């Protein structure tokens, strides 16, 4: 049974007939995204180097206006006086630094689990299954990063999501108090928590005007054929095939898991779960929910498997993300 304090802090509204909306395609605007990726690939071949699974994930998920701006910048620099340095730099941000950013965000281990809450005996009801005593999951990972690791996240967000959105996200996840607060927390049962950490499930925050309510649409993500964010993709095989996105099924349909709510109802893509709190500070941040929605889908396409030890940290090292702005 959930504690009275957790009930008072945040109520999860669940019923036996879950509302559902038909989800969008797994990849929207697929043809245009593929055309831009092919253009990047041709540019990469011209200047040397290889495309990576991280670049595929960015191409399939990042906002179209930002991808168009990036493509235009590539063309502009390609005809510039310093093209031999500027174009490879842009492509490096796309292919390698974005891979590092994903690796930091998806690092395996305890840095994803909000252990301080668990140790205090604080728990809540799983937003999806209704299971009591659920684990508190971080909407965005809370981990120690050294100077050499912190800039890829900033670079990727600024370049492919835009300065305005990136600045807001960076401000949030560089704030110690924010990262430890309910604004960066949602309750999931153990299995859903694992799937969430490993980019097997993601939650789309739906538009709404009520500040006391957030509606989340669950989406099961698909396993990728890629295994490493940074490993060069096979030049002889269409990247769409390598990413498992070929055909109508590949680009339109979502993943599938056999799982059910406490009442026994199957959990399916498109179902909507409503979070309500009298105190709005006890709800997770809509901005950070939007960030996890995008980054988890990028990571799933790029080959997230929850097994990237390079960026893993120990519990004793936990502290908020330290970003480039700290050097100012």
DSSP per-residue string spanning 263-290: TSPBP-TTBEEEEE-SSGGGSPPHHHHH
pTM (2 d.p.): 0.85
For 74-111, b/e burial (b = at least 16 CB within 10 A) is: beebeeeeeeeebbbebbebbbbbbbbbbbbbbbbbeb
Length of the chain: 328
Please choose, from the candidates 112, 52, 157, the residue with its C-alpha nearest in 3D space to the C-alpha of residue 311: 112
pLDDT values of the chain reduced to their tens digit, one per residue, 328 residues? 444 444 433 444 444 567 889 999 999 999 999 999 999 999 999 998 899 999 999 999 999 999 999 999 999 999 888 788 899 999 999 999 999 999 888 865 334 443 333 433 345 889 998 888 889 899 988 654 444 566 788 899 999 999 999 999 999 988 888 988 999 999 999 999 999 999 999 999 999 999 999 999 999 999 888 989 999 998 888 899 888 898 888 899 999 888 888 778 889 999 999 999 999 999 999 999 999 999 999 999 999 864 444 434 333 333 434 333 333 3
Q: What pLDDT, on a 0 to 100 scale, did the predictor assign at position 150?
A: 64
Distances (CA, A) of 183 to 89, 165, 180, 252, 311: 35, 17, 8, 32, 24
Helices of type H across 48-186: 53-61, 64-78, 83-92, 98-105, 115-119, 147-161, 163-173, 176-180
Q: What pLDDT, on a 0 to 100 scale, did the predictor assign at position 83?
A: 84
Site of tokens 């927390």? 185
Q: What pLDDT, on a 0 to 100 scale, did the predictor assign at position 44?
A: 93
């Amino acid at each position: 049974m959930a504690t009275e304090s957790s009930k008072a802090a945040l109520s999860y509204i669940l019923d036996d007939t879950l509302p559902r909306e038909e989800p969008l395609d797994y990849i929207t605007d697929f043809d245009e995204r593929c055309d831009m990726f092919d253009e990047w690939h041709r540019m990469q071949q011209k200047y040397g180097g290889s495309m990576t699974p991280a670049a595929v994930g960015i191409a399939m998920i990042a906002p179209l206006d930002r991808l168009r701006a990036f493509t235009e910048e590539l063309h502009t620099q390609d005809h510039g006086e310093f093209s031999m340095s500027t174009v490879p730099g842009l492509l490096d941000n796309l292919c390698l630094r974005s891979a590092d950013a994903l690796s930091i965000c998806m690092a395996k281990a305890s840095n994803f689990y909000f252990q301080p809450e668990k140790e205090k005996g604080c728990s809540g009801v799983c937003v999806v299954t209704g299971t009591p005593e659920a684990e508190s999951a971080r909407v965005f990972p809370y981990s120690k990063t050294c100077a050499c690791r912190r800039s890829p996240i900033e670079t990727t967000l600024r370049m492919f999501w835009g300065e305005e959105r990136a600045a807001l996200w960076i401000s949030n996840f560089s704030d110690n108090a924010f990262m430890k607060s309910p604004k960066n927390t949602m309750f999931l049962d153990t299995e859903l928590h694992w799937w969430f950490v490993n980019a097997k499930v993601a939650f789309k925050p739906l538009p709404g005007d009520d500040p006391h309510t957030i509606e989340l649409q669950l989406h099961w993500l698909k396993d990728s054929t890629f295994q490493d964010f940074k490993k060069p993709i096979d030049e002889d095989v269409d990247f769409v095939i390598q990413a498992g996105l070929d055909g109508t099924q590949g680009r339109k349909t979502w993943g599938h898991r056999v799982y059910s709510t406490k009442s026994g109802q199957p959990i399916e893509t498109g179902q909507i779960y409503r979070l309500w709190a009298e105190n709005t500070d006890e709800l997770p941040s809509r901005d950070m929910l939007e960030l996890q929605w995008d980054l988890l889908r990028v990571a799933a396409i790029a080959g997230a498997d929850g097994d990237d030890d390079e960026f893993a940290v120990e519990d004793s090292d936990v502290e908020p993300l330290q970003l480039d702005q700290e050097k100012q």
